[in-house]
Amino acid sequence: MTNTIFEISVKLKKNVKLKELPQIKSSKDCEKVLRPYFDKNTFYIQEEFIVVFLNNSNRVVGHQKISKGGISATVVDTRIIFSTAIKCFASAIIISHNHPSGNLNPSRADIELTKKIKKVGEIIDIKLLDHIIITDEEYLSMADEGLL
């Protein structure tokens, strides 16, 4: 008899048709899918980090809020991102966080984190498609800006 601390499982929603899932074809599609996942009550005062998981057809199969931090930063653990990606059989991910300040420019930490996540994804064959920074009215796509 073995004792375990964690049980890992995937819960599939019933009666979901693949063609009904949102499909990501552009950074605008990313922003449209991601924006509703941010907490509207704290959007202007706390950073949140959210990941969207995609299948081979770039259809959204899930999302997860990885962290909620302070005014200018939040902690992101790549192990949490990729353990969830593996559990939901994701082929790709899109990462995102908000900037409560309204400044769209990625920080040095944003760029370094993006590189780290991309590198880990390459090792386990889960592609990082984009890193979207969201403010109250705008967004910046690191892929569109050539920062991936």
Say if 74 falls within a structural domain. yes
Say if 127 falls within a structural domain. yes
Say if 49 falls within a structural domain. yes
Please tell me the pTM assigned to this model: 0.89
pLDDT at 13 over 70: no
Say if 20 falls within a structural domain. no
pLDDT at 1 over 70: no
Q: Please give the full DSSP string across the chain, using - where no structure is assigned.
A: ----S------PPTT--GGGS-B--SHHHHHHHHGGGS-TTTTTT--EEEEEEE-TT-BEEEEEEEEE--SS-----HHHHHHHHHHTT-SEEEEEEE-TT---SPPHHHHHHHHHHHHHHHHHT-EEEEEEEE-SS-EEETTTTT--
Say if 32 falls within a structural domain. no
- Which carries the bigger pLDDT value, residue 9 or residue 99? 99
Domain range holding 118?
40-141
CATH of the domain at 132: 3.40.140.10
pLDDT band at 20 (very low <50, low <70, confident <90, very high): confident
Domains in the chain, number: 1
Say if 109 falls within a structural domain. yes
pLDDT by residue (tens digit) across 30-65? 999 999 999 999 999 999 999 999 999 999 999 999
The chain-wide mean pLDDT, for the chain, equals: 91
